[in-house]
Structure 1
Amino acid sequence: MSQVPLATMRVLKLSTKPAPGAPMLPCDRLILHRGFGIQGDHNAGSGSPRQVLIVDLRSLNDFGLQPGDLHENILVDADVETVPSGHILQIGSALIRPTFHCEPCAKLERLRKGLAKQLIGQRGILGMVVRDGTVAIGDSVTATKHTLPALPDDAKGRFDEFVARIPAGSVVRTSDLLLAMGVAKAYYRAIPAFLKKAPPELPVHRVVAIDGRLFTRYLPKQAEALAAEGVVFTAGKVTNQFLWHASHFHELEAFGAKD
């Protein structure tokens, strides 16, 4: 595999989050699974663009933080903020697709008031595992010459990018939509506006409610558009056979487990 040096970047610390609200658990090695994430980590899951969080030491030092404070899985010794989305990294024997910058959450305010705002653009990069592998402390981080499509940093941009790829004859529930976008449940409130303001070429008719019901209030011709694609309804709901599976939400096909 052709590779490009990445400022001799090295892995300094590793950690996992075993459960929601649990403290980060330091470890010497991570096991990564293609399309799923880190073994034993709460954020692992098919279809999520938030499987791995990589943070650089500078971000910790600049704000007087300790390893694990930013809930990072991989702490490295050089700047990762400039790594472009979609440019595949090799870390240890695993390949990771950087997706977008990790937005600071309100929980960081527990560490210090105002920290979340200060960390905008400096909380590291999120990524997906595109090849199985292990990562150990001391492993190098290398930029390969492989690329996959970039994902926008903003939620609306990721909504547009994802919905554009839902195939004809398939639908995505709002719960899976938020998963694929990598956003919090609070974004349920934004979905109606995203649907109503979508450009006409965006196939928003392929988005349905969490229970499979249609959004006819916002998309009056949704039933007609779905029926034209062969989608079947039962009691006003789209049946599960037409759900787009999470394993297809983001491109991984360029890399097999042993590429």
Structure 2
Amino acid sequence: MKVVKLFIKDKPGVRVQESQILNLQRGYGISGDVNALPGNPRQVLIASTSTLTEFGLKPGELKENLLVDTPIEQFSSGTVLQVGSLALIRLTLPCEPCSYLNELKPGLTKRIKGKRGFLGMIIRDGQVLAGDEITLAPYQFKPLPDEAKGRFAEFVQRIPPGKVVKTTDLLMAMGVSKAYARAIPTFLKKANSQLPIHRIVRADGRLLWEYVIEQERSLLAEGVKIEQNQIADIDAYWDSSQFHELGNF
């Protein structure tokens, strides 16, 4: 497998720009890219030339960062790819088609499902060039669930005692859009009783008392400081750099 082209998006709302080199930073993403963010499972998008050919698309139109000459969908979440001599990318989630694709070709959002590309996180620094070889690394992470509900449970169960996560950061860690905020109350209400949902708070740090029974009592028991129904200690927020495992490379 080989890198055919590289792209970067340096500002929201603009097209990706072709680049001859990308600097990948562990736990952060592509230097200068809008999706570079600690804890984001969508730091990089890899797409295949076969998909472009099949659907009559041009390089960059899928908003990919790496365009490769092999169907990336043959791999699975948790697989680690080495790009060039150093960089390691942990594949996290298949990229779900969005409505933007229908602007390219009517009905494309539905037709391209399953071939949109694969998202990933950078787990080792490295400089990537067009033409670099991509190999399967001898490492494997636990795959992330396909469905948002499953990713909600997988993430929440890993929040350490004494730490909380804002709903905005929760959505980012799940790899879903802000529109999913409307689903959070349902996820909370239907959550398994063993899931520590009391560690989820609103974007402004206020408690979700109407959805989480005795949230304040549970957090106080874990040493979290609360004042006027709101988290009072900035150190209680879980560091986003720890949201997903990066390994030791």
User: If the TM-score is normalised by the length of the shorter chain, which range does it land in?
Assistant: over 0.9
Corresponding position of 2:186: 193
Corresponding position: 1:21 with 2:40: no
Distance 1:65 1:169 in 2: 48
The 5 Å alignment of 1:91-240 reads: 91-92=83-84, 93-239=86-232, 240=234
Aligned-residue offset at 1:196: 0.4
Does the residue aligned with 2:72 lie in a helix, a strand or coil?
Answer: coil
> Quick one: distance in 2 between partners of 1:145 and 1:130?
13
| In 1: Cα distance, 2:34 partner to 2:212 partner | 35
User: Could you tell me how far 1:253 is from its partner in structure 2?
Assistant: 3.3
CA displacement at 1:87 relative to structure 2: 1.5
Amino acid at match of 1:35: G
**Residue aligning to 1:250:** 244
Name the residue aligned to 2:34: 42
Alignment size in residue pairs: 247
What secondary structure, in the 3-state scheme, does the structure 2 residue paired with 1:55 have? strand
Distance in 2 between residues matched to 1:171 and 1:247, nearest whole Å: 14
1:33 equivalent in structure 2:
25
Aligned with residue 12 of structure 1, among 4, 14, 35: 4
- TM-score between both structures, scaled by the size of structure 2: 0.97
Q: Distance in 1 between matches of 2:141 and 2:105?
A: 37
What's the CA shift string for 1:194-221, capped at 9, x where partnerless?
Answer: 0000011111110000011111111121
Deviation string 1:121-172 (CA, Å, 9 cap, x unpaired) is 1111000000000111111111111111211122111111110100000000
Cα RMSD, aligned residues only: 0.9
Percent of aligned positions that are identical: 52
* Structure 2 gap ranges (5+): none
Cα drift, residue 30 of structure 1: 0.6
> What amino acid does structure 1 have at the position aligned with 2:221?
A
Distance in 2 (alpha carbons) for counterparts of 1:151 and 1:121: 16
3-state SS, counterpart of residue 123 of structure 2:
strand
1:69 aligns with 2:61: yes
Offset, 1:254: 2.4
